C-alpha cells in the first residue's frame, strides 16, 4: 500500500535524536503535510536540532507529555491528525536500571494513551518506532534477529519497549488499528545526546577525559546511520503493509572496544593530536545484565520495500565526529 496524506501528521519525540531527523525530512520532503512535533523536552530533547525548519509554514511544535491525556485530547481536537509517528521514549538502558518506573510510564502508559487517541479519532496510520533490544541478545554464532524472533527482553528498557510493541499489535487486533512497527539497531549520527556510546566517547576524547568501557569491551552492536534509519521510516510509513513489522539494521557489527579505537584514531587524525587518545581508555565494571550481541536481519524491508542502508560506516563516523567537534568546541 502507499499512504498519501494531505493534512496533518503527529510526530512524538520530534526534538530528540532520531525524531529531529524524522521531522526535518518530513517537513522538507513533504510540504503538503503539516507536521506537528509533540515533545516533552526532557534532558535529551533539544529544539536546536530543528532550527533549520522551525519557521516552516508546515511545521508546529507543541511542548507536551504523552502521559498527559488532557493535553493529548486538546492536540487531537485542535489539529485532527491523520497519522502518528511515535518516537517519544525513554531509551537509555543505564537509566532504566536506576529507575524502571519512568520507562513504564513513558514507554508503556504513554504509548497506550496515544493508542487510545488513535482509536478515538480514527487515525489512518499508527507507526510505532521500536528497538532490536526487545529480541534479547545473541551469541557469536547465532543468526541475526528476524521479525519472527521471539521476544526476550533483558533490561527494564527493552521490557518497556516490548510491552509497548505488544500493545500496538493488540490494538490492531482488537480495534482494527492500521499500524506498522519497526525495530532498529543502534543508531549514530548528529543530534544524539552524549550519554550514548559514540557521542560520549567523542566528548571524552575532545575533553581529554577517561573513556569508560564496560567489562572487556567485546560486546557487539550493529550500527545504523541515523539518516539511513530516517529513510527507512519514510519508506515504512508510506509503503509498509498494515499490521507488519520491519527490522531496520545497518549490517555493521562492531565490538565496543573496536569502535572506540576507531573514534580515537579518527579524532586524533582530524585534530592532529600528538598523543594517542586510546590512552584515555579505562575499563570499568560491566553493566548489570549487559547484553552481549545485537544483530539485525533487514532482508524483509530490503526485498519487500526496496530500502537498504546507504551510508558507509567510516563516512558516517567522520560526519558524526565533525558535527560533535563543532558542537562541543562552541
Give 43: exposed, middle or buried? Use CB within 10 Å, 0-12, 13-18, 19+: exposed
CATH number of 8-189+224-251+294-311: 3.40.50.720
Helix (H), strand (E) at residue 1: none
Check residue 13 and give left, alpha or beta (phi > 0: left; psi -120 to 50: alpha): left
pLDDT for res 4: 58
Is 237 in contact with 321 (CB distance < 8 Å)? Answer: no
Residue 291 pLDDT > 60? yes
pLDDT for res 93: 85
Average pLDDT of the chain to the nearest whole number: 95
Is 74 in contact with 36 (CB distance < 8 Å)? Answer: no
Check residue 46 and give left, alpha or beta (phi > 0: left; psi -120 to 50: alpha): beta
- Say what the pTM is: 0.95
Sheet holding 253-255, edge to edge: 186-188, 220-225, 253-255
Residue 203 pLDDT > 80? yes
Residue 3 pLDDT > 80? no
> If DSSP codes are grouped into helix, strand and coil, which group holds residue 50?
helix
The string of pLDDT tens digits covering residues 6-21 is 689 999 999 999 999 9
Domain ranges within the chain, ordered by starting residue: 8-189+224-251+294-311
Mean pLDDT for 35-50 is: 95
Say how far apart CA 179 and CA 307 lie, in whole Å: 19
DSSP state of 306: -
Query: Cβ contacts of residue 25 below 8 Å, gap of 6+?
Result: 230, 231, 234
CA 284 to chain centre: 26
Residue 28 pLDDT > 70? yes
pLDDT for res 94: 81
pLDDT for res 289: 85
pLDDT for res 330: 59
Q: What is the DSSP code string of 67-101?
A: T-HHHHHHHHHHH--SEEEE------HHHHHH-HH
At residue 2 the predicted structure's pLDDT band, cuts being 50, 70 and 90, is low
Say how far apart CA 47 and CA 88 lie, in whole Å: 14
As a whole-number percent, the residues of the chain with pLDDT over 90 amount to 92
At residue 127 the predicted structure's pLDDT band, cuts being 50, 70 and 90, is very high
Strands 125-131 and 179-184 come out as: parallel
pLDDT for res 195: 86
pLDDT for res 221: 96
The string of pLDDT tens digits covering residues 221-262 is 999 999 999 999 999 999 999 999 999 999 999 999 999 999
Counts for the chain of helices (H) and strands (E), in that order: 11, 12
Mean pLDDT for 159-185 is: 98
Helix (H), strand (E) at residue 213: strand 211-214
Task: Cell numbers for 276, please give them.
Answer: 594517542
User: Phi and psi (nearest 5°) for 8?
Assistant: -125, 135
Give the torsion through C-alpha atoms of 246, 4, 17, 157, to 10 deg. Answer: -40
Query: Cβ contacts of residue 55 below 8 Å, gap of 6+?
Result: none
pLDDT for res 1: 52
The string of pLDDT tens digits covering residues 294-311 is 999 999 999 999 999 999
**Sign of the C-alpha dihedral, residues 268, 274, 278, 281?**
negative
Residues carrying an active site annotation: 132-133, 157
Amino acid at each position: 500500500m502507499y499512504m498519501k496524506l494531505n493534512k496533518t501528521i503527529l510526530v512524538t519525540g520530534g526534538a530528540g535524536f532520531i525524531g529531529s531527523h524524522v521531522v526535518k525530512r518530513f517537513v522538507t520532503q513533504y510540504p503538503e503535510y503539516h507536521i506537528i512535533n509533540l515533545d516533552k523536552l526532557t534532558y535529551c530533547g533539544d529544539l536546536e536540532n530543528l532550527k533549520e525548519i522551525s519557521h516552516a509554514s508546515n511545521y508546529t511544535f507543541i511542548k507536551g507529555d504523552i502521559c498527559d491525556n488532557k493535553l493529548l485530547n486538546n492536540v487531537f481536537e485542535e489539529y485532527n491528525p491523520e497519522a502518528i509517528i511515535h518516537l517519544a521514549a525513554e531509551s537509555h538502558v543505564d537509566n532504566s536500571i536506576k529507575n524502571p518506573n519512568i520507562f513504564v510510564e513513558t514507554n508503556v502508559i504513554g504509548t497506550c494513551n496515544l493508542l487510545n487517541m488513535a482509536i478515538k479519532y480514527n487515525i489512518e496510520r499508527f507507526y510505532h518506532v521500536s528497538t532490536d533490544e526487545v529480541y534479547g541478545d545473541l551469541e557469536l554464532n547465532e543468526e541475526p534477529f528476524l521479525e519472527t524472533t521471539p521476544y526476550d527482553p533483558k533490561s527494564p528498557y527493552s521490557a518497556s519497549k516490548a510491552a509497548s510493541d505488544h500493545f500496538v499489535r493488540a490494538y490492531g487486533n482488537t480495534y482494527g488499528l492500521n499500524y506498522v512497527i519497526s525495530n532498529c539497531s543502534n543508531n549514530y549520527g548528529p543530534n544524539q545526546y552524549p550519554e550514548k556510546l559514540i557521542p560520549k566517547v567523542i566528548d571524552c576524547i575532545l575533553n581529554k577525559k577517561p573513556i569508560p568501557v564496560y567489562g572487556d569491551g567485546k560486546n557487539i552492536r550493529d550500527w545504523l546511520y541515523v539518516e539511513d534509519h530516517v529513510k527507512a521510516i519514510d519508506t515504512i510509513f508510506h509503503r509498509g503493509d498494515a499490521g507488519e513489522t520491519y527490522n531496520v539494521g545497518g549490517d555493521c557489527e562492531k565490538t565496543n572496544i573496536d569502535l572506540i579505537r576507531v573514534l580515537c584514531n579518527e579524532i586524533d587524525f582530524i585534530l592532529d593530536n600528538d598523543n594517542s587518545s586510546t590512552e584515555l581508555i579505562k575499563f570499568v565494571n560491566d553493566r548489570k545484565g549487559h547484553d552481549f550481541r545485537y544483530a539485525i536481519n533487514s532482508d524483509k524491508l530490503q526485498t519487500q520495500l526496496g530500502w537498504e542502508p546507504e551510508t558507509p560506516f567510516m563516512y558516517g563516523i567522520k560526519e558524526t565526529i565533525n558535527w560533535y567537534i563543532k558542537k562541543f568546541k562552541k
